[in-house]
Structure 1
């Protein structure tokens, strides 16, 4: 196996044992879009060491056969939770909601830091989870114990994950862009009425659906979905509510599928609780995100290509002079900042590493 020299660190690809100086990270569900990218980022990371990467149908294949562009020359294995739990320090779980909670609970019980990419631990209220996802959660006793893995908002809580043995529940891609785009306004008590128009690429549907979606349905076409209530809506409501958005505010959220591989853009239209100027709003965002390594504030309208294959959220704000609405535009790469690279950023924070370690260069 060729040496891994990404980011200036060379090693022979053999991960150390559990408890060694470089924490050993397993990726469960590494055949999916998010899991495969997570494996790539950990494989190239100068601090974490990639251990087992698992899949069921593709077990025995090397990941670089399934995804050549990720360049991870490691074979996928059948998931064995007992073996993984006894030989790893961290587990990144890339299963769909419902299927994830069992594996997360098992890894958590064995003392691993667990990063869940699904929705199974994002919501703090079991009744809300049942309303939106059904009664498929096998570890309801763990509700409310996870740290929401948005470092820009929960950095201090993430820093205690390693000692406290808590789960990191990674945000959904839509909530990541939406919450980052609206957090400064929520914190200032300015959200009176919110409409969020979101656009996402085909990869947001996951590998299975993306590969079975007919080309002619997507090409030269844009359509809304989840208009009766998208599952990310209560997550957005939960996090913005915790920042100070009033109970009476119910954001309208409508996603649209656009004919691109990956990327995401939200356009938020906010009726503020009082008149504000564009300069006042800009100052709020500068204060909120000053020094953040992965939030870029811009005076130009952001586009998906601006942040492709990066952990960056790019945000633009203004105020419509006629209606007085605050307009917020935020773009991320749904597979990177919206999922896998943000998981590595959260792991960096949990282990006291620089948050940009392994994510730049």
Structure 2
């Protein structure tokens, strides 16, 4: 372990987009040490050969829970849903202090809801132990957490956009119009994200129900929203980046001053949330852990319009995982992210 390090961290699934970024951030982290990188593909290759721009010289290894859990304090698991849960379970059983899971396996609080939208859960006993990893909403719960469920990218942006209004109890109805780049589909691109289909095109998907909808509905419900949420994502011909446009029907008239007060109270001291008068764009936050938000009271319609831009691979996945790791381990929350 390097001098001054607060512990070594394993990244399991480092050959994927988010896993590789997490490894890159940890490689340069001032208080943590990147202990090992494992993958289900590209085993034997250096991560810097798979992703030269991340400059991580470690060799990708096949995951061996007994060997890789030994000597690491924490882990980030960047596996797909269903495949992540047994890895999280195995790492915790072998004494790894904190595991941050980038999949959906521990985000939903209700087992039946998870299995309705995903697959049969192989480690349901850990669901009660997990903490939803949105630090701006769950910072205190994250301190000392053992299993952290990193939020989905759409829920991250949508919840940050809507939390101040939800907490104030003013949301009567909300439509979330979300747009994202093709990297959200992961390294194994499908027909929907193929260049020939995405180029010069905009495509709505998940119109009969997207898997992030129950996650958004769950967390808004915790904040007191009882209305059914309308959520429609769209695919844009971008590499990285995500913008959610939220159209809120409030249960009472709100002025711009009232809206400004709610958002300033919520985020003025947050290190990774920026409030702006100008509608945010995805280039404003690319390759950062920032969420950039604009909120407007529309006098003509009486609605409140909220826009939030994030980088889907950073704040929507990898850098938020490092932020969660910092909080859970009692480190400076911004370490390695600024």
> Which TM class, normalised by the smaller chain length?
over 0.9
Kindly indicate whether residue 307 of structure 2 is the aligned counterpart of residue 329 of structure 1: yes
Query: Match for residue 149 of structure 1?
Result: 133
Q: How does 1:256-271 map to 2 (within 5 A)?
A: 256-271=234-249
Report deviation, 1:211: 9.4
CA distance, structure 2, for counterparts of residue 350 and residue 142 of structure 1: 17
Q: 2:265 aligns with which of 260, 268, 287?
A: 287
Count residues in correspondence: 337
Q: 1:129 aligns with which of 100, 106, 114?
A: 114
Query: Match for residue 114 of structure 1?
Result: 99
* Secondary structure of the corresponding residue to residue 104 of structure 1: helix
**Is the CA contact 2:144–2:330 (under 8 Å) kept in the aligned structure 1?**
no
Report deviation, 1:91: 1.1
CA distance, structure 2, for counterparts of residue 205 and residue 339 of structure 1: 12
* Secondary structure of the corresponding residue to residue 338 of structure 1: coil
Query: Match for residue 238 of structure 1?
Result: 218
**Is the CA contact 1:199–1:255 (under 8 Å) kept in the aligned structure 2?**
yes
Distance 1:26 1:55, change over 3 A: same
Post-superposition Cα deviations, 1:158-217, rounded to whole Å, max 9, x if no partner, equal 1122xxxx2011000000000000000110001110000000000000010169943120
Report deviation, 1:358: 0.6
Q: 1:181 aligns with which of 161, 165, 175?
A: 161
Query: Match for residue 45 of structure 1?
Result: 29
CA distance, structure 1, for counterparts of residue 216 and residue 239 of structure 2: 24
Query: Match for residue 79 of structure 1?
Result: 63
Distance 1:45 1:210, change over 3 A: farther
Report deviation, 1:134: 2.7
Report deviation, 1:144: 2.4
* Secondary structure of the corresponding residue to residue 337 of structure 1: coil
Normalising by structure 2, report the TM-score.
0.97
Quote the RMSD (CA, aligned, Å). 1.4
CA distance, structure 2, for counterparts of residue 130 and residue 212 of structure 1: 24
**Is the CA contact 2:178–2:245 (under 8 Å) kept in the aligned structure 1?**
yes
Gaps of 5+ in 1: 1-14
Gaps of 5+ in 2: none
